[in-house]
Amino acid sequence: EVQLVESGGGLVLPGGSLRLSCAASGFTFNNHWMTWVRQAPSKGPEWVANINEDGSKRVYVDSVRGRFTISRDNDKNSLFVQMNNLRAEDTAVYYCARWGLNDNHTPDYWGQGTLVTVSS
């Protein structure tokens, strides 16, 4: 059974940093692109970042580029996002998701999310 479990969320001051983790199990982690998607309270989801199978390619939404860094540890089946210089508008539930294989361009499995609150 595919499982994705996020952790690391919490309350952080504006300008602060936070590192989220996503523990993956039930599939061959290093075969899949992975992604972070966030959802602000009462808003729709927003794609944040993708990383390819070996971590050599990373893409970001404009609003986080230069502040967030997506990474992965294939030996530990884990996905991360380092979030620096956090702003109030980064407040959201952060989900990790797995992308389908080959030509299956879809975030097929999702975690349950971890809440990040940026506030003074």
CA angle 49, 52, 55 (to 5 degrees): 95
Task: Look at the alpha carbons of 50, 9, 94, 119 in this order and tell me if their dihedral is positive or negative.
Answer: negative
**Is the separation of the CB atoms in 22 and 4 below 8 Å?**
yes
Single-letter amino acid, residue 106: T
Number of residues near another protein (by CB under 8 A)? 22
Question: Whole-number minimum distance, CB 61 to another protein, in Å?
Answer: 6
Residues 95-114 that bind another protein (CB under 8 A): 95, 100, 103-108, 110-113
**Based on CB atoms, which residue is closest to another protein, 43 or 120?**
43
Cα separation, 49 vs 98, whole angstroms: 12
**Based on CB atoms, which residue is closest to another protein, 10 or 100?**
100
- Positions touching another protein (CB under 8 A) are 35, 37, 44-47, 50, 59, 61-62, 95, 100, 103-108, 110-113
